[in-house]
């Protein structure tokens, strides 16, 4: 859908004994699992930079994301061009108004694994991923946020690695970098995060416009 990038600038280097690092890593993971284990739904603004490694090309985007347990999601892109990616947990729709086209497919198949089930995946990190600090000597980024490097135990072509910058106050993910099998990356920054706002299921349903061509994602 949108090509997948990014670099974390790590500033302060502090050498900590291994047993303390391990304990702190456990604390970060426990905080993430506790926070996202209690999340039923979530709304946030996002900015995105997708990097195509082979072309050396970056594409910037921004919009609003809505997530709800049960595989429900909605990504409303405002730029560089309007686009909606919606799933009710069963069906996936990708609507591109410029093309007057709706791509549709089986959501569980298209979104298999923790990439497509963000809330559930972060609620049980140790089950889904092998986890370490991105830089064990530093542990945090320039903003003081712990940065964890997650490797899926069952990687998919769209998700071979996930790097998360976590707010130390509430254990909410503020930045996520997704790597695919070709090392293309997408880095997403989240702001105005609202947890459990009570999103209606109707937000995750979609009826293709009458003037839009409906094209299967798989043929």
Question: Is 166 within 8 Å of 146 (Cβ atoms)?
Answer: yes
Q: What value does the mean pLDDT take over residues 82-111?
A: 90
Query: What average pLDDT does the structure give for the chain?
Result: 83
What tens digit of pLDDT does each residue of 170-185 get?
Answer: 999 999 998 989 999 9
Task: Give the span between the Cα atoms of 62 and 82, in whole angstroms.
Answer: 10
φ, ψ dihedrals at 10, nearest 5°? -105, 125
* Residue 1 in this model has a pLDDT that exceeds 50: no
Q: What is the pTM of this model?
A: 0.82
* Residue 79 in this model has a pLDDT that exceeds 60: yes
**Which of the four CATH numbers 3.40.50.150, 3.30.830.10, 2.50.20.10, 3.40.50.720 does domain 21-216 have?**
2.50.20.10
* Residue 3 in this model has a pLDDT that exceeds 70: no
* Residue 44 in this model has a pLDDT that exceeds 90: yes
What tens digit of pLDDT does each residue of 129-150 get?
Answer: 899 999 888 899 999 999 999 9
Task: Give the span between the Cα atoms of 154 and 69, in whole angstroms.
Answer: 21
Question: Is 107 within 8 Å of 114 (Cβ atoms)?
Answer: no
What tens digit of pLDDT does each residue of 190-210 get?
Answer: 999 999 999 999 999 999 999
pLDDT at 82: 95
What tens digit of pLDDT does each residue of 116-132 get?
Answer: 555 556 777 888 889 99
């Amino acid at each position: 859908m949108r090509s997948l990038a990014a670099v974390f600038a790590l500033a302060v280097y502090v050498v900590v004994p291994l047993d303390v690092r391990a304990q702190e890593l456990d604390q970060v993971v426990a905080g993430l699992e506790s926070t996202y284990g209690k999340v039923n739904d979530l709304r946030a603004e996002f900015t995105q930079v997708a990097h195509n490694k082979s072309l050396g090309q970056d594409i910037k985007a921004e919009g609003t994301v809505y997530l709800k347990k049960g595989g429900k999601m909605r990504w409303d892109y405002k730029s560089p061009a309007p686009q909606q990616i919606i799933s009710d947990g069963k069906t996936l729709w990708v609507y591109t108004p410029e093309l007057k086209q709706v791509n549709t497919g089986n959501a569980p198949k298209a979104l298999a694994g923790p990439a497509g089930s963000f809330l559930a995946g972060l609620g049980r990190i140790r089950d889904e991923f092998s986890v370490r600090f991105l830089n064990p000597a530093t542990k945090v980024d320039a903003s003081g946020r712990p940065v964890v490097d997650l490797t899926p135990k069952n990687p998919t072509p769209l998700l071979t690695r996930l790097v998360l910058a976590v707010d130390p106050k509430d254990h909410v993910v503020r930045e996520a970098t997704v790597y695919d099998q070709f090392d293309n990356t997408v880095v997403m920054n989240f702001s105005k995060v609202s947890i459990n706002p009570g999103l209606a299921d109707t937000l995750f349903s979609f009826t293709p416009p009458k003037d839009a061509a409906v094209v299967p994602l798989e043929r």
